[in-house]
Structure 1
Amino acid sequence: MKITLFGITSCDTVRKARRFLDQQGLDYRFHDFRADGLEPSRVDDWLRQLDPVALINRRSTSWRQLPEAQRADLGPDAVKALVLDNPTLIKRPVLEIDGRIEVGFSPERYQELLAS
């Protein structure tokens, strides 16, 4: 099983998800958006599986600081451009398990994904 957790180290929710994975004794890779960057092909993969709106944290300060015109267009191409320019717009964490994607953290949901 290949597991990658994407996020930023300063995010409390990412810390909870990392603690959960550690407690489960799972071998995973942590990818920090700020330190490691974000590849366009990765975002393309996510957007093939997710509704573009699900990838955006619309409660974040980064989101509220965007001009209204950018917040109005949430199509795949616009979301891709937004998150590549500002990865902190991504709802965190993003968990990839063998190519499947989960956005946000829920211990119950993580248990389900890991069991399947």
Structure 2
Amino acid sequence: MVKVYGITTCGSVKKAIAFFKENVVPYAFVDLKSTQVSEAKLQEWLRAQPMSLLFNTKGTKFKTLGLSKEISDEEKKSWLLKEQLLFKRPIVECEDGTLLVGFDEEVYTKKFS
């Protein structure tokens, strides 16, 4: 079963969940608004994907906080642990250990078909 981390109002998360339902891929949803991602989990994700992919500089939360795109990876890590809406969504943990970030139908189709 895949684990989908995101928020219910995010368009990309909605697309990912619709894809999993349509393709009968079992998934569990983890709401980033109510579940805190631990530092250990973030470290695990960073071993699989770069900070540049996990940290969302295009979202509303990034703009609202007035953050600079020039902040260091350590600063980004610190921000992600306190403002989970700064994660690019969805984050999908696959059964084989792969980590997908964002929604790309072509990538999902290759991975789950």
Alignment TM-score, normalising by the size of structure 2: 0.88
Where structure 1 has 5 or more consecutive residues not aligned to the other structure, the ranges are: none
Counterpart residue type for residue 80 of structure 1? K
- Does 2:79 correspond to 1:82? yes
- Does 2:74 correspond to 1:96? no
Report if the CA contact (8 A) 2:6-2:90 is conserved: yes
Matches within 5 A, 1:62-81: 62-68=61-67, 71-75=69-73, 77-81=74-78
Counterpart residue type for residue 97 of structure 1? C
What number of residue pairs does the alignment pair up? Answer: 112
Q: How far apart, in 2, do the equivalents of 1:60 and 1:25 lie?
A: 29
Identity %: 28
Matches within 5 A, 1:18-57: 18-57=17-56
Alignment TM-score, normalising by the size of structure 1: 0.86
Q: Deviations over 1:35-70 (max 9, x none)?
A: 2221221111111121111111111121123345x6
SS in 2 for 1:9: coil
Q: How far apart, in 2, do the equivalents of 1:74 and 1:4 lie?
A: 28
**Structure 1 residues 85 and 3 mapped into 2: Cα distance closer, same or farther (>3 Å)?**
same
Where structure 2 has 5 or more consecutive residues not aligned to the other structure, the ranges are: none
Q: Which has the higher helix share?
A: 1
- CA root-mean-square deviation: 1.6
Displacement of 1:15 in angstroms is 0.7
